[in-house]
């Protein structure tokens, strides 16, 4: 086990995995670009193809969590709720406290067959991120600038197009708007106090506009809302860099299902329902902190082999010519070739580290309510 852990921490192996992810992602993005000719001819065929192309990319990240780091994911929910997974269009409300919360969400999507068709209401800046933003663009992800006056038309039209989506989709919403930090929490609770809303201990005040708008636009398509509260055993603070280094975490997810009929249609009442939901999420976190687990029965969905097989396919396809080329460079003895290949490796390592940096709490997230930060930006 110690030997295996040492191997996983080797930079060269991590660099090779990063190479596979980046190059396969560029290939997938090119194929997605080619599929655009199908949009005016057969929109549903375009969507089905792009669901599978995006699965081929995202499943490589899920593979890191499931097979490389061996992270465990346990659901706290009833069997009736589990039986509905992957069989309906839903909205997922997930707390935004950890760097790898999205990866835990994607893992659940993969295990229930909806990873390729998973959606999110994403900040506009992510559209510029290579691979991630580009893949989301072809998947019809709705991007917003978080200024409602500018976002209104974009959000309504983007969500409206998803009403006839052919694959069951899980639409992920981070209603807090940004990742939790102590500074943001203090600012958020000041806002709650000024509005006469109950204070939260473990969450930021939810931004209701995105939720109420998504629910209204997808009415008749979305059948339920899943409230998901994520935490980690032993007060672990997981990072994507830790996953890349092969560190194992234990994730617990409390899942509650609400039918759309249970949620008020009136926008103000719907917003109040969401505030109440976050008070309940806060209570769940309090229980977890005291008892080390969420209440209710547990379900551990089995890992599927497809993420590992998909990665092995891309690794076999891409690493063979790379290794042959590297050997040729060394054998040639040409200083120019060796220097050029070394520069390529340095650029590749920097690019991969920057992609990892997209998930880091201290480097991402909006300046939630921080007027001074906004002025600096």
Instruction: Give the span between the Cα atoms of 158 and 121, in whole angstroms.
Output: 10
Report if residue 41 sits inside a domain.
yes
| Mean pLDDT (whole number) for 301-310 | 94
- Same domain for 353 and 214: no
Q: What is the pLDDT of residues 189-210, one digit of tens each?
A: 999 999 888 899 999 999 999 8
Report if residue 279 sits inside a domain.
yes
Percent of the chain having pLDDT more than 70? 90
- Same domain for 215 and 345: no
The pLDDT of residue 88 is: 96
- Same domain for 216 and 162: yes
From the list 285, 263, 281, the residue with the least C-alpha distance to 272 is: 263
Q: What is the pLDDT of residues 307-364, one digit of tens each?
A: 999 999 999 999 888 788 777 777 777 777 777 767 766 776 666 666 655 555 454 4
The pLDDT of residue 124 is: 84
pTM here?
Answer: 0.88
Report if residue 168 sits inside a domain.
yes
Range of the structural domain that residue 237 is part of: 1-306
Task: Give residue 371's pLDDT band: very low, low, confident or very high (50, 70, 90).
Answer: very low
- Same domain for 105 and 7: yes
181: region left, alpha or beta (phi > 0 left; psi from -120 to 50 alpha) = beta
Residue 374 scores a pLDDT above 60: no
The pLDDT of residue 226 is: 97
Report if residue 332 sits inside a domain.
yes
- Same domain for 258 and 350: no
**DSSP letter assigned to residue 27:** H
Q: Of 216 and 14, which is predicted with more confidence?
A: 216
Q: How many domains does the chain have?
A: 2
- Same domain for 283 and 214: yes
From the list 132, 95, 123, the residue with the least C-alpha distance to 364 is: 123
């Amino acid at each position: 086990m110690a030997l295996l852990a040492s191997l996983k921490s080797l930079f060269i192996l991590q660099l090779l995995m990063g190479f596979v992810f980046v190059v396969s992602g560029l290939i997938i993005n090119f194929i997605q670009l080619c599929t655009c000719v199908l949009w005016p001819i057969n929109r549903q065929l375009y969507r089905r193809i792009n669901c599978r192309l995006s699965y081929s990319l995202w499943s490589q990240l899920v593979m890191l969590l499931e097979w490389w780091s061996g992270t465990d994911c346990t659901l706290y929910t009833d069997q009736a709720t589990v039986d509905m997974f992957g069989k309906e269009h839903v909205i997922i409300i997930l707390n935004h406290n950890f760097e790898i919360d999205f990866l835990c969400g994607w893992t659940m999507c993969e295990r229930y067959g909806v990873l390729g068709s998973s959606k999110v209401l994403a900040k506009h800046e992510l559209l510029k991120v290579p691979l991630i933003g580009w893949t989301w663009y072809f998947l019809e992800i709705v991007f917003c600038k978080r200024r409602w006056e500018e976002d209104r038309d974009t959000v309504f039209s983007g969500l409206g197009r998803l009403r006839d989506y052919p694959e069951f989709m899980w639409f992920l919403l981070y209603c807090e708007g940004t990742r939790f930090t102590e500074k943001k929490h203090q600012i958020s609770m000041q806002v709650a106090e000024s509005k006469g809303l109950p204070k939260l201990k473990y969450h930021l005040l939810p931004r209701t506009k995105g939720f109420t708008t998504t629910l209204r636009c997808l009415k008749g398509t979305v059948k339920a809302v899943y409230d998901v509260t994520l935490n980690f055993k032993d007060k672990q603070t997981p990072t994507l860099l830790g996953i890349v280094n092969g560190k194992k975490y234990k994730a617990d997810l409390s899942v509650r299902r609400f039918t759309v009929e249970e949620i008020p249609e009136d926008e103000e009442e719907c917003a109040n329902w969401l505030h109440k939901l976050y008070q309940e999420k806060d209570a769940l976190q309090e229980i977890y902190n005291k008892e080390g687990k969420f209440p209710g029965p547990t379900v551990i969905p089995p890992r599927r082999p497809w993420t590992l097989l998909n990665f092995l396919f891309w690794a076999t396809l891409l690493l063979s010519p790379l290794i042959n080329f590297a050997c040729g460079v060394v054998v040639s003895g040409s200083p120019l070739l060796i220097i050029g290949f070394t520069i390529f490796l340095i650029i590749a390592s920097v690019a991969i580290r920057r992609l990892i940096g997209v998930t880091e709490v201290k480097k991402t997230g909006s300046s939630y309510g921080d007027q001074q930060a906004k002025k600096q930006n």
